[in-house]
A and B are shown apart, each in its own frame.
Chain A
């Protein structure tokens, strides 16, 4: 399985966690950060099934959500599930790093979440 290639940033001054990157801390304006990798499984915070997709997605629908990892990193990802009815806020999900779309003939990798059954 591929390593999850996103990095969060913890402010060295006040400890606030950021993802994605900011040049200055959103809390204290600090400029030094410690790189933090998302850790463990995640909890689904919200989600939606989208039926009107943007250019580049040749499929009927897409289920997306925002989840929070065990070390509090929050990120968006696609959700691997047969039906949105299988989801609820607070569901535990397992992250993986997989192709999320194709751009210019190349796979673009990103986060996917799958319910832990």
Chain B
């Protein structure tokens, strides 16, 4: 197997993009990544496109075929990858394996989603189609509802409090204000959403015990990366970043069938595989992008990947250990909470943000000094399909 490098990245600002179609967004992000790599008019050997909802939301299928035509990348082989909110990381995995195996040299991976085209009512239903079609979906369960049930159990078992969840919201929305690609560029005021009588109105319960500001927004957006073998990476524009570790694991479809529903086994397994492949430990990671679709998930994932012991993740956020300059800075992009969560784009966007960190390209107020290693967790379903990547800055 060959070492695989990321040689180009691109992202478009997430948010509500009424003026763009899904295909527009995928094309813009792809061109940015191809230009970042300095590919000019060259083609690529293959394209993987991550998208979850084109069929349901845009009434459009065969997204990858359409994109290669639009980008004049014909006759490059092209596949659409759908794996719920983990589609982005799954598409990168496909590209990684294709390059590592020696089958392809230059691969474009792009993820995108257009969710604001439909009402919130429809978007919530679209995301809920990930739940079990007989045992969960008919009851009206939503992903925030799953997260609410999970949070209640996590609070009972590990003593997580609303203060801990609030600290994640405040941190990530503060970081979102510094990220020009973020959907939500609005700092939160603790008093306004927690400590005053107005908080009940400003931050109502959304899925008890989770409140509005515990949830990520519904977003449009796209992000892309270009992969090639490490031995070829020097020929291109930017300092290469190596995918040094990768892991993926699955868990039961229904939360109710997990012996201990607070145990996110797929996160633990995916991270263990990635650390073993990279020959690193959690303490070796300089910066991480975790899948905080709900504030509780940033805390739970930080424990399950091994940054903190179980029950310590919430306290770590409050103590500032996950801020820039802390023990392990998490979600300096603002995370899903502020950058937004266009489901097919998220797993790719996380990798793009870590690449910027490892190339030392971010402004001082978001850049981890001399960052050499980064980790991502892309969480599909409610933890039933999880991917973890470990990236490292290539040696000069």
Contact = CB atoms under 8 A, between A and B. Distances in A.
A14 interface: no
A52 B135 contact: no
B142 A54 contact: yes
A66 B255 contact: yes
A55 B124 contact: yes
Nearest to B120: A52
A78 interface: yes
Interface string A32-65: 0000000000000111111111111100001011
Contact size class for B? 35 or more
B140 interface: yes
A89 B152 contact: yes
A48 B152 contact: yes
Contacts of A52: 120, 124, 142, 144, 206-207
A20 interface: yes
Nearest to B153: A46
Interface in B115-146: 119-122, 124-125, 128, 132, 134-136, 138-142, 144-145
Nearest to B141: A64
A65 B256 CA distance: 10
A108 interface: yes
Contact size class for A? 20 to 34
A77 interface: yes
A75 interface: yes
B125 A51 contact: no
A26 B141 contact: no
A45 B258 CA distance: 12
Contacts of B156: 89
B277 interface: no
Interface string A9-43: 00000000011100000100000000000000000
A81 interface: no
A66 B149 contact: yes
Given A52-B144, A74-B257, A20 B208 contact: no
A49 B153 CA distance: 14
B261 interface: yes
A19 B257 contact: yes
28 contacts: A19-B256, A20-B132, A20-B254, A45-B256, A47-B149, A47-B152, A48-B145, A48-B207, A48-B208, A49-B207, A50-B140, A50-B142, A50-B206, A51-B207, A52-B124, A52-B142, A52-B206, A53-B121, A54-B128, A55-B124, A62-B145, A66-B149, A66-B256, A76-B136, A78-B139, A100-B139, A101-B138, A108-B138
